[in-house]
Chains A and B, each alone.
Chain A
Amino acid sequence: MTEPLLKVNNLKKYFPIRKGILGKEQGNVKAVDDVSFYVYEGETLGIVGESGCGKSTTGRMIMKLLDPTEGSIEFEGKDLTKLSNAEMRKARREIQMVFQDPFASLNPRHTIGKILEEPLIVHGLGNAKERKKKVLELLEIVGLSSYHANRYPHQFSGGQRQRIGIARALMTNPKLIIADEPVSALDVSIQAQVLNLMQDLQKDLKLTYIFIAHDLGVVRHISDRVGVMYLGKMVELAESEKLYANPLHPYAKGLLSAVPVPDPDFKREHVLLSGDIPSPSNPPKGCTFHTRCPFKMEQCTAVVPILIEVEEGHSVACHLYDEGYVNDK
């Protein structure tokens, strides 16, 4: 097997909670707590999980928008946390991000042409003429037209703005795109257009995606492998077919069974999870899911389960599988 394009090792991000006028530290929010995964060239790794579980924080650390508290991020074999400035600039070109709200991320006073040109200027790529050419080329690629370059963000619909967001991310010919909820703000009919576009671009430009979303249907559709996060931890990581056909972690089971399916005839067993998601500033001891887990055992409240591969291409962090996974099929 080839080396992964990206290796994330024991990544942690703790945000300090400060109280009072002196800003004394009062503990911390464990937004991302010891997460490891690989991403191979040309694949899409989906990351799912409920609000606040640390998906965006993980993406932002890879993008170098946030510094990790601990852990390493290796991109093409080099640790991003230890790069020289010149190397870092190059790495920044190769990893780009697409955000949820295309409107908030586009400067309302700039034309689309200017917005798209900016990443090239920042990275000192090409002369004015070459930059212009690249802008027009990318507008075309994402399904817009050259005359759109002179328009302003508010003149576009949500779906078109997301196309612009994608075009901007592609300006520097990146290898890895981190897409953080890229279709969550879009209407269903428009969402399908953008997902198809992302799939086409991946094929044509050999892109690698980390696709963050809370919509499990969308994630299955686009991902080769999927990681499920809960309270800052990766609790299951598997090839997408395996995860959706046979989720192993009790949280993943509950999460998957909670997704409404657009078929009135579809009857299934609901694993209705009771209770609320605990606060990441005071996560439960041992397995962080034990407060809601229907299978809780004695060791669950004391010992943190680690992510282990229980079957080829299927890892889970749960004491139920300490002895290995018994495939009863």
Chain B
Amino acid sequence: MERKELLQVKGLETTFFTEDGAIPAVDNIDFSLREGEILGIVGESGCGKSVTSLSIMGLVPSPPGKVTNGEILLEGTDLAKFSDKEMRKIRGKEVAMIFQEPMTSLNPLFTIGNQLTEAILIHNKKWSKKKAEERAIEMMKLVGLPRSEELLKEYPHQLSGGMRQRVMIAMALVCDPKILIADEPTTALDVTIQAQILQLMRDLNKRLNTAVMLITHDLGVVAETCERVVVMYSGQIVEEGPVDLIFKDPQHPYTKGLIQSVPDMRFKKDRLYSIRGNVPKPGSIKQGCRFAARCEWAHERCLQENPTLYQTGEHHKTRCFLVSGKEAHIDDRAIVESK
């Protein structure tokens, strides 16, 4: 069943105006987040994942950054046109966000209780302190924090990394937002703790029907957690589709290469596939396909033109001339043999 599109990002462009010139960190991206789904955004360092989420939240550091084009439609309303004041009402209430390092978003000088009730009272100005505290305890139970009453009186540094991330999730969910954007929520955590937090996020997504946009560079996390995935490269989306399809039948040479470069814990490969060259800085490639310098299939046209995101299947989009329908389809084996 096709679910309603809750958030539609259309032609989003976010530019940083720096000494080195204007850097299009996010360059004309289109995607949508559907009701109740978990959407993964993957890509390597600097490809624009965080800037995409900050753009949606209206939190791009300005200067030097600015949303320079596009629409961010939340149930049809364009957030890109909202003032700071209007955005403040949306943040936390409609769309909430959690970050990689919870310590940077928790104030070390205030207790967990202070910070949770504060978050509740911002959007429920008429509530009594007692009511807010009750809600805070309820939220802490929801995210599986033990001894909630005592924890309310403790400070962030007294908690472990995993507990802090649970507090952040509780804080993000206090107002029952429709959308939760999680930017590398488990990257700073150990794997056994990561497994707990991912489990919690899947549970909450099911129970509360909160749509989740999960940003990560870990393909394993995507495979285990998400229904659909968007693959970014150098400020653009290069492939988008259901997780099953992307992992089993990736179309873009970058996605293919990425999936093959990950060592798999289940079996030993003799040698890893590796993509040659380096990840380009956004804005450094002015002409042609941004992946051309690293692509084994790059041909004349790739150096001249930047491909658009072609519809390469019913639910599948790919930014590559090879699958645009006009040219040959990439053969899976070709990648392995050409190495």
- Residues on A lying within 8 angstroms of B by beta carbon are 50-51, 157-160, 187-193, 195-196, 199, 214-218, 220-221, 240-241, 244, 254-266, 270, 272-274, 276-277
- Residue contact A256 to B265, C-beta cutoff 8 Å: yes
Give the nearest-CB partner of B275 in chain A.
A189
Contact B191–A258 (Cβ < 8 Å): yes
From B45, B221, B271, A260 is in contact (CB under 8 Å) with B221
Residue numbers in A under 8 Å from B275 (CB-CB): 189, 192-193
How far apart sit A214 and B266, CA to CA, in the bound complex (Å)?
16
Look across to chain B and name the residue whose beta carbon is closest to the beta carbon of A279.
B160
Q: List 16 A-B contacts (CB under 8 A).
A: A50-B192, A160-B278, A188-B44, A188-B219, A220-B268, A221-B272, A255-B191, A255-B192, A258-B192, A260-B221, A261-B265, A261-B266, A262-B219, A262-B264, A264-B223, A277-B190
- The complex places the Cα of A16 from the Cα of B266 at a distance, in Å, of 40
Contact B279 A187 (CB under 8 A): yes
Report the minimum CB–CB distance from B263 to chain A (whole Å): 4
Bound together, the chains give a CA A159 to CA B160 distance in angstroms of 32
**Any A CB within 8 A of the CB of B304:** no
Q: Are A262 and B259 in contact, with the CB atoms below 8 A?
A: yes
Complex contact B273–A192 (CB within 8 A): yes
A260 touches B224 (CB 8 A): yes
Q: A157-B278, A261-B223, A262-B219 are in contact. Are A214 and B190 (CB under 8 A)?
A: yes
With A191-B261, A277-B190 as contacts: A260 and B196 at CB distance below 8 Å: no
B311 in contact (CB, < 8 A): no
* Of the residues B199, B259, B268, B294, contact of A272 by C-beta under 8 Å: B199
Alpha-carbon separation in the docked complex, A1 to B261 (Å): 35
Interface of A is mostly: helix
CB distance from B161 to the nearest CB of A (A): 8
Q: Which of A257, A261, A262 has the most CB of B within 10 A?
A: A262
What residues of A have a CB within 8 angstroms of the CB of B194 in the complex?
Answer: 258, 260
Contact of A157 with B279 at beta-carbon distance under 8 Å, contacts A188-B219, A191-B261, A221-B269 already known: yes
Q: Within the complex, what minimum Cβ distance (angstroms) separates A246 from chain B? A: 13
Tell me the nearest residue of chain A to B276, going by C-beta.
Answer: A193
Whether A192 and B261, one on each chain, are in contact in the complex, defined by CB atoms closer than 8 angstroms, is yes
Q: Tell me, yes or no, whether B208 is within 8 Å of chain A by CB.
A: no
> How far is it, in angstroms, between the C-alpha of A264 and the C-alpha of B226 when the chains are bound?
9
Contact with A along B191-224 (1 / 0, CB 8 A): 1111110110000000000000000011111111
Q: How large is the interface on B (under 10, 10 to 19, 20 to 34, 35 or more residues)?
A: 35 or more
Which 8 A-B pairs give the minimum distances between C-beta atoms? A260-B220, A192-B274, A192-B261, A221-B263, A258-B195, A50-B190, A187-B44, A217-B263
Given known pairs A188-B258, A276-B160, the reply for A220 and B263 (CB within 8 Å) is: yes
Q: With a CB–CB cut-off of 8 A, which chain A residues contact B310?
A: none
CA distance A258 to B196 in the complex (A): 9
- Are B271 and A51 in contact, with the CB atoms below 8 A? no
Q: Given that A188-B261, A265-B244 are known contacts, is A260 also in contact with B190, CB under 8 Å in the complex?
A: no
Q: Which residues of B contact A (CB under 8 A)?
A: 44-45, 160, 162-163, 190-196, 198-199, 217-225, 243-244, 247-248, 257-259, 261-266, 268-269, 271-276, 278-279, 294
Instruction: Say whether B223 contacts A262, CB under 8 Å.
Output: yes
Query: With A and B bound together, what is the CA distance between A75 and B10 in angstroms?
Result: 62
Neighbour of A196 across the interface among B44, B160, B217, B274, CB < 8 A: B274
Besides A192-B275, A214-B191, A220-B268, 15 other A-B contacts (C-beta < 8 A): A50-B191, A159-B278, A187-B279, A188-B262, A189-B294, A192-B262, A196-B274, A218-B263, A220-B265, A221-B268, A258-B191, A261-B220, A262-B247, A262-B262, A264-B224
* B-chain residues with CB within 8 Å of residue A274 when the two chains form the complex: 196
A244 x B265 contact (CB < 8 A):
yes
- List residues of chain B with CB within 8 A of the CB of A51: 190
Q: A196-B271, A261-B220, A265-B244 are in contact. Are A189 and B257 (CB under 8 A)?
A: yes
CB of B197 to closest CB in A, whole Å: 11
CA distance A189 to B42 in the complex (A): 13
Residues of A contacting B264 in the complex (Cβ-Cβ under 8 angstroms): 217, 261-263
Known: A199-B271, A260-B220, A265-B244. Is A216-B265 also a contact (CB below 8 A)?
A: yes
A158 to B217, CA, bound (A): 16
Contact A260 B198, CB 8 Å, known A265-B244, A277-B190:
yes
Query: Could you say which residues of chain A place their CB within 8 Å of the CB of B222?
Result: 262
Q: For residue A188, which residues in chain B have a CB less than 8 angstroms away from its CB?
A: 44, 217, 219, 258, 261-262
User: Is B223 a contact of A263 with CB atoms below 8 Å?
Assistant: yes
Nearest Cβ on chain B to A48's Cβ, whole angstroms? 10
Q: Tell me, rounded to whole Å, the shortest Cβ–Cβ distance linking A293 to chain B.
A: 12
Which residue of the partner chain A has the closest CB to B242? A264
User: Is A190's CB under 8 angstroms from B278's CB?
Assistant: yes
Interface-centre pick from A216, A244, A258, A272 (highest chain B CB count, 10 A): A258
Chain B hits for A258, CB < 8 A: 191-192, 194-195
| Contact between A259 and B272, CB atoms less than 8 A apart | no
- Min distance, Cβ B102 to any Cβ of chain A, angstroms: 14
Residue of B163, B191, B222 with most partner-chain A CB within 10 A: B191
Q: How far is the CA of A158 from the CA of B160 in the complex (A)?
A: 30
- CB contact between B163 and one of A191, A193, A256, A276 (< 8 Å): that residue: A276
Q: B191 to nearest A CB, angstroms?
A: 5
Chain A residues with Cβ under 8 A from B44's Cβ?
187-189
Are A260 and B223 interface neighbours, CB within 8 A? Answer: yes
Q: Is the CB of A266 within 8 A of B190?
A: no
Write the nearest CB–CB distance from B289 to chain A, whole angstroms. Answer: 16
Closest approach, in angstroms, between the C-beta of B72 and any C-beta of chain A? 27
**B252 CB, min distance to chain A CBs, angstroms:** 13
Compute how far the CA of A255 lies from the CA of B221 in the bound complex, rounded to whole angstroms.
15
